[in-house]
Structure 1
């Protein structure tokens, strides 16, 4: 039974309200623990002898607001995603629902994996490179605001770049691109991943860019392999 348009709008309003409320509560909670959050984000260079400075009045306060906002949105993302899915799913066919669930789940896993990879490997490597490069010449006194801008942008861009396999699976499922075509352009993918890593990473050192480019190539090849498995399963189902 189809719902009247006004019922759809009312449901949309309620789900938008729940999503915004979840974001607000998550951001406020993160702000209440903002100093602990700052210590957590400073951990990649905690043992490198870096000192953080507040270069203007209120810089640290606005930096905690920014960090709390980013962290709160990340914490509220599952709730927002659920509200979007709950609103969209009733209007989808059975095959579309079965396709949506693994896409959403895989996208979420890859995004948070990208964040973890950036925090545990990419960010410490980039920051320690800068510290070691300056060792013996200048003392590492960093602006707290610029440091967090660097770390948060790097983490967010890494999380987004890890969505490559999701896009590949969607294109393969829709029949836009085949796995054979994906594998055939692997040379361009290597070059494109290198360029993307240079654009996405705030630093300019080749070591950090390589640390991001290599996983991007691996993710692309993994996505192409998943598309190939889907094609094989579809072919077996059609011949059965």
Structure 2
């Protein structure tokens, strides 16, 4: 691979192509490292799986009346529910390393200015995903579970199933984690040329409606959780427009610089 005098990588058609077999070998190596990282995280997390389940179920358990608790309706649930939680948390914890391996695989084919943008986007996407999960645990869960435990008919004993609860909270973690990626998606749309900051700003009313529709689809059928997902999505969309404008200006400046040097 040759480099020009300005420290810019040549276009892909001018680069010395790596043989397909080498690409596949490198891809296999990256995938093996990812699997190994997840296995290591799982080995470290699984011994504490029961304690972690108690922690993740605390927002609901502390709202249950005295004498009521969670139950297991399936004989295998006490084993598989913590096991599933440990496996999901292993992937969750390994996300930074997984994205690093993906970055290491694709980085050689990027221009210098693309690398400057791609790495911050990857790093920010990890932070935003974790922030979405934290927001769900500390803000959404207490409000949602408080709402559901308060509206039940009198005389009905609430005994939540541990497996059903786990499926519910994992879905919520995923929904809020993905929703918090909206600024990254907005910036990528702008950088790809699919839209512009001005067009996105003009479509703001439609985006707000779409946020509430998505909130209705991804959360339980109550106005509290729907609003708690829709409002942050809209705010994050506004941040995405702001950062998209900044990234768009930087990309335009880099493009003009390349044209001057050609």
Give the corresponding residue for 2:145. 127
Shift, 1:229, TM fit: 3.1
Shift, 1:79, TM fit: 1.3
Instruction: Answer with 26-35 or 78-87: which moved more.
Output: 26-35
Shift, 1:91, TM fit: 1.9
- From the superposition, tell whether residues 235 and 108 of structure 1 become closer, same or farther in structure 2 (CA, over 3 Å): same
Give the corresponding residue for 1:24. 39
Give the corresponding residue for 1:46. 61
Give the corresponding residue for 2:81. 63
Give the corresponding residue for 1:227. 244
Give the corresponding residue for 2:228. 211
Residue pairs, 1:32-111, within 5 angstroms: 32-49=47-64, 51-111=69-129
Over the residues paired in the alignment, what is the CA RMSD in angstroms? Answer: 2.0
Residue pairs, 1:148-159, within 5 angstroms: 148-159=166-177
Structure with the bigger percentage of helix: 1
- TM-score after normalising by structure 1: 0.92
Shift, 1:235, TM fit: 6.8
Residues matched between the structures, number:
238
Shift, 1:135, TM fit: 6.7
- C-alpha distance after superposition, 1:84-125 (max 9, x if no partner): 111111121112211211111111111111011111111221
Give the corresponding residue for 1:189. 207
Alignment gaps of 5+ in structure 2: 2-15, 258-262
2:182–2:237: 8 Å Cα contact kept in structure 1?
yes
Alignment gaps of 5+ in structure 1: none
Matched, 1:144 2:162: yes
Shift, 1:129, TM fit: 0.8
Shift, 1:56, TM fit: 1.9
Point out the structure with max Rg over C-alpha: 2
CA distance in 2 between partners of 1:135 and 1:35 (Å): 31
